[in-house]
Amino acid sequence: MKKTIIGMLAFALAFVTGCKPTAEQIKTTATAIGYAAGLVANETPIKDDARNTLVEVLGEVRGCVPAEGQSFAEAWEPVITAKVAEFVEKGKIDAATGELVKTAALMAAKGVDYLFDVRYPEARKYEELVAAGMSGAIDGFLTAFKPVDSKVVAPKYDKKAYEWFKSHK
């Protein structure tokens, strides 16, 4: 009985004061959320050249941190748009494919927003947690949204995030 009461008090204290998640917890959750976003994006009719282009585009935004009050989608969109336009201009992809790449890349950004807006809103205050979240979400996304000739083993994915992405695509 005494252990039950102490456990309940500890839980209540953690709930009231809030616990700062670790970078590893954030990265693990972000990877699962990114994978869920990648599963949804993978349902688009995107060709192999666009898949490889998307990997390059996400490489460009990997270090792009939004300003105070800005979402990741808002911060990443200009970078994504510019990089896609560059690939279209070079003839690497056509404009229609560029739109698919842009849409898929923004899905990855929405994964990071979901992580920090829905799951861990307080974590956005900590630079190391934001970095872990961005990295995990992109890595998880790219695991599900495989580039050509990729042989990656699928991790567990966040089913709630998957349902959220399905309803917000």
Q: Is 147 or 8 the better-scoring residue by pLDDT?
A: 147
| pLDDT band at residue 31 using 50, 70 and 90 as cut-offs | very high
CA 58 distance to own-chain centroid: 10
- 96 assigned to some structural domain: yes
Check: CB of residue 162 under 8 Å from CB of residue 40: yes
Say how far apart CA 137 and CA 109 lie, in whole Å.
Answer: 8
| pLDDT band at residue 18 using 50, 70 and 90 as cut-offs | low
Residue 9 is predicted with a pLDDT of 33
- 5 assigned to some structural domain: no
Say how far apart CA 123 and CA 20 lie, in whole Å.
Answer: 7
- The closest alpha carbon to 166, from 38, 58, 27, belongs to 38
pLDDT at 7 over 70: no
Q: Find the distance separating the first CA and the last CA of the chain, reported in whole Å.
A: 49
Please give the radius of gyration of the chain, using alpha carbons only, rounded to the nearest integer.
18
Say how far apart CA 80 and CA 56 lie, in whole Å.
Answer: 10
pLDDT at 49 over 80: no
- 145 assigned to some structural domain: yes
- 129 assigned to some structural domain: yes
Residue 15 is predicted with a pLDDT of 41
Per the structure, the count of domains in the chain is 1
pLDDT at 118 over 70: yes
- 2 assigned to some structural domain: no
What sign does the dihedral 106-112-118-119 (CA atoms) show?
positive
Taking residues 130-150, what's their average pLDDT? 83
Average pLDDT, the chain: 81
Residue 107 is predicted with a pLDDT of 85
- 41 assigned to some structural domain: yes
Domain that holds residue 147: 22-167
Residue 2 is predicted with a pLDDT of 41
- 7 assigned to some structural domain: no
Check: CB of residue 23 under 8 Å from CB of residue 132: yes
- 132 assigned to some structural domain: yes
